[in-house]
Structure 1
Amino acid sequence: MSRALSLLATALVVAACSSSPKKPQPTPLAPAAALMGTQLAWSAQVGQSGVSLVPHVAGGRVFVAGNAGVVAALDAATGKDVWRLNLGTPIAAGVGSDGQTAAVITGNNQLVAIADGSERWRVRMPARSFTAPLVAGGRVFVLSADRAVLAFDGKTGARLWTQSRPAEPLVLSQTGALLAVGDTLVAGLAGRLTGLNPDNGAVRWETPVATSRGTNEVERLVDVVGPVSRIGNNVCARAYSAAVGCVDASRGTPVWTRAAQGTTGVHGDDRLVFGSETDGRFLAWQRANGEPAWSIDRLKYRSLSAPLALGRVVAVGDGSGIVHLISREDGSEMTRLTTDGSAILAAPALAGDALVVQTRNGGVFAWRPQ
């Protein structure tokens, strides 16, 4: 209990320290461009949502959750419920799934596995988590806020192993990085990407994205935040308010790193990596070497989500529920999409040919190109 209370207190400290007494007004938007056609394919509702409740696509389904306890698997083509379950307790992070088993973490630190719309098992976690579980290879992996990675048996919930890293005074109440790259489990631990053996948790390699510096604990907080951008073995990630960099995950060697002040994750394609700075300036970096490709200022102070690169555009949501589709070549506007007017907190997702977003008010929206 004391450990959990300590983590909660430090998370609140970080939130308080990162807030501003008076925020700049969002940059007014020019008249919308209409350089590409889109059509709303479907919409659904899961209830009020938070930044750690990220839409997840697997097995032709879109998995979503709401703060109050609803978890749903939606048909990616139609948006209709495949199944829907109310866990009866608030949800703090999720959803992760391999298309069959889904997993979320509740507000009272329980990891819950769901299969075919029924709860399979539930286990108590030793610390809070703000990152969706990773379900892969018959196991469920969790990145906890105290910088530990845990593995559980997907059928029984039995804990298989735990890999703990040195604790630091503050933790970040934000989605971290946890993904599979080949036969390696890659996790963001403090300012490093760490490659683990998924069978036993042994560390295979560690590569810094940013080095902790500064005169106080807040300035030294450089946790890797999600989402990250993976193309083959190349993984690009952001260290909170410090840097963006890419790592060769096959060998655990750095490719490049560049100072950057953003606090949300990145995404990209085989040529470019995209992300925004704290003030909303949106940038593209060359994936090969980190050199700047372009930047735009027209979305400043609009509380941007993490982006999603898809085809010739990059999608990013804002604090007023608008999805901006931006040309990947130069950042020019292609079109805008509207939701329910509440903030888009998590990165958009791609379900087949549909772009999917989830809003703070729990609306789930999917568009397809015309």
Structure 2
Amino acid sequence: VVGDAVYAAAADGTLMRVDARTGRSVWRIAAGKKLSAGAGADGSLVAVGTNKGDVLAFDADGKPLWQVTVSSEVVSPPRVADGTVVIWSGDGRVFGLSASDGKTKWVYQRANPPLTVRNYAGGAISRGGLLLGTAGGKLVALDLATGNVGWEANVATPKGATELERIADVTSLPVIEDRQVCAVAYQGRVACFELVRGTLNWSRDVSSLDGIVADNRYLYVVDDKGSVLALDKATGASAWKQDKLAKRRIGGPQLIGDQLGVVDGEGYLHLIDRNDGSLVGRMATDGSPATAQPGVTPPGIAVWQSEAGTLYAVGAR
């Protein structure tokens, strides 16, 4: 989602731009290859990747710009900002490519643990920095232009006797709010760090695969039991907990007006009051879950793609 433009990619190679306000298709093209991750864009360039490691870039009108190949399958939607296209590959590498021609500017790599969750976090960009979560529970700040490491911090520390017990991966996008960056790890904790230096502000023991989102008061997280938690953004103190959706296999949360939205395993969108955690509404979709945590447009419209291939946009009433 970039402004009022939504870019959507399908596994069959379809790439399209949709007007977020009307749902009207602006353009639709065939990339010519099967796509393995969603689209990433900055308003002038949109990038997608394949399971063969191909990265394809198009302009805002869908015209091809360039194509390059990285080391393995592209596993997370690209991020595009400040002349750099960031790509995550299945072998644990992160590539910074030039937005103008696709040439490699830098490569970041760290060794993956023997066993990881196949749920790739991607990264968040702010003030020329890239914040990314890793397998093994690290949050790393890179210089977007050079790939140099500014700092790294532990969101979670692997524990246990078996490799399964020691999985502690950051599996969702970090959230940048009020000069701090927050992240959550599976079998770990949710933690917020000072943005520039990476100093820990606070942490709570919470395990999650599904992501976090924040407003001006709270950080919202869906834990691995399916409960929705609201934590004070400044201190981590609990504000409320909604556990009535625990058996519905809900995904990552998103802000929809004054409410919080989550999509469950059967495609229902559930709306939660952000003040007290009460359930205030439900909407049926096509019966399939969201492919990823919903995005949001500047007017507060939540946008997501279902596993059946339908694109949805829901705003506040």
Q: TM-score, normalised by structure 1?
A: 0.81
Residues 146 and 292 of structure 1, relative CA distance in 2, 3 Å threshold: farther
| Structure 1 residue 331, shift from structure 2 partner | 0.9
Distance 2:77 2:54 in 1: 13
Distance 1:150 1:109 in 2: 11
In the TM superposition, residue 259 of structure 1 has moved relative to its aligned partner by 1.4
Q: What is the rounded CA distance, in whole Å, between the counterparts of 1:63 and 1:244 in structure 2?
A: 30
Matched residue type, 2:307: R
1:1-370 matched pairs, under 5 angstroms: 57-115=1-59, 116-190=61-135, 191-351=137-297, 352-370=299-317
| The 10-residue stretch of structure 1 (259-268 or 299-308) with the greater mean CA deviation from structure 2 | 259-268
Match of 2:9, as an amino acid?
A: A
CA distance in 2, matches of 1:195, 1:262: 21
Cα contact 1:229–1:268 (8 A) shared by 2: yes
1:144-168 Cα offsets, whole Å, 9 max, x none, are: 3333221111121111111212332
Secondary structure at the aligned position of 1:343 is classed as: coil
Paired residues of 2:52 and 2:72 also in contact (CA < 8 A)? no
Deviates more, 1:112-121 or 1:151-160: 112-121
Task: Provide structure 2 residue ranges, at least 5 long, that are not aligned to the other structure.
Answer: none
RMSD: 1.6
Q: Percent identity?
A: 34
* Structure 1 stretches lacking a partner, 5+ long: 1-56
Structure with the greater relative contact order (CA < 8 A, sep ≥ 6): 1 or 2? 1
Distance 2:218 2:187 in 1: 20
1:164-185 deviation line (CA, Å, top 9, x unaligned): 1233223332131311121211
Aligned to 1:315, what secondary structure does the other structure show?
Answer: strand
Question: How far did 1:246 drift?
Answer: 1.0
SS at match of 1:220: coil
Which one has a larger percent helix, Structure 1 or Structure 2? 1
Q: In the TM superposition, what whole-angstrom CA distance separates every residue of 1:102-123 from its partner, at most 9, and x where no partner exists?
A: 1111122211111121222221
- Distance in 2, matches of 1:280 and 1:320, equals 14
